[in-house]
Copies of this chain bind each other. A is one copy, B any other.
Amino acid sequence: MIINKHTKFLIVGLGLLGGSYARALTEKGYYVEAITDKQSSVDFALEHNIVNRAVSFVDFEMLQNADVIIFALYPHVFVEWIKTYGKHIKKGTLITDVTGVKKCIVYDIQNSLPEGVEFVSAHPMAGREVYGVENSNEKIFFGANYVVVPTEKNTEENIDACKRIGEILGFGRIAELSPEEHDDMIGFVSQLTHCIAVSLMTCYENERLEKYTGDSFRDLTRIANINEVMWSELFLLNKESLLNQMELFRHEFDKLEAYLKNDDREGMMEMMRLSTERRKRFDR
Interface residues of A (CB under 8 A from B): 125-127, 144-145, 147, 173, 175, 177, 185, 188-190, 192-214, 216-229, 231-233, 235-236, 239, 242-243, 245-246, 248-257, 260-261, 263, 265, 268-269, 271-276, 278-282
Task: Specify which chain B residues have a CB less than 8 angstroms from the CB of A226 in the assembled complex.
Answer: 272, 275-276
A sample of 10 inter-chain contacts (CB < 8 A) reads A145-B213, A177-B212, A192-B200, A197-B275, A199-B271, A218-B282, A226-B272, A227-B272, A236-B265, A239-B260
Q: How many copies does the complex hold?
A: 2
Q: Which residue of B lies closest to A268 (CB)?
A: B232
Choose among B175, B193, B211, B251 the residue that contacts A211 (Cβ–Cβ < 8 A).
B175
Task: Specify which chain B residues have a CB less than 8 angstroms from the CB of A212 in the assembled complex.
Answer: 125, 145, 147, 175, 177, 185, 189
CB pair B190 A279 closer than 8 Å: no
Whole-angstrom distance between the Cβ of A184 and the nearest chain B Cβ: 9
Can you name 12 extra interface pairs (CB under 8 A) apart from A193-B219, A236-B265? A185-B208, A185-B209, A189-B213, A190-B217, A198-B256, A199-B253, A201-B279, A210-B281, A216-B223, A217-B282, A219-B222, A229-B269
Whole-angstrom distance between the Cβ of A253 and the nearest chain B Cβ: 4
Task: Specify which chain B residues have a CB less than 8 angstroms from the CB of A216 in the assembled complex.
Answer: 189-190, 193-194, 197, 222-223
Choose among B213, B245, B272 the residue that contacts A231 (Cβ–Cβ < 8 A).
B272
Alpha-carbon distance A190/B235, docked complex (angstroms): 28
- Report whether over half of chain A's contact residues are helix, strand or loop; otherwise say mixed: helix
Choose among B188, B242, B253 the residue that contacts A204 (Cβ–Cβ < 8 A).
B188
CB pair A235 B189 closer than 8 Å: no
Choose among B272, B278, B279 the residue that contacts A232 (Cβ–Cβ < 8 A).
B272
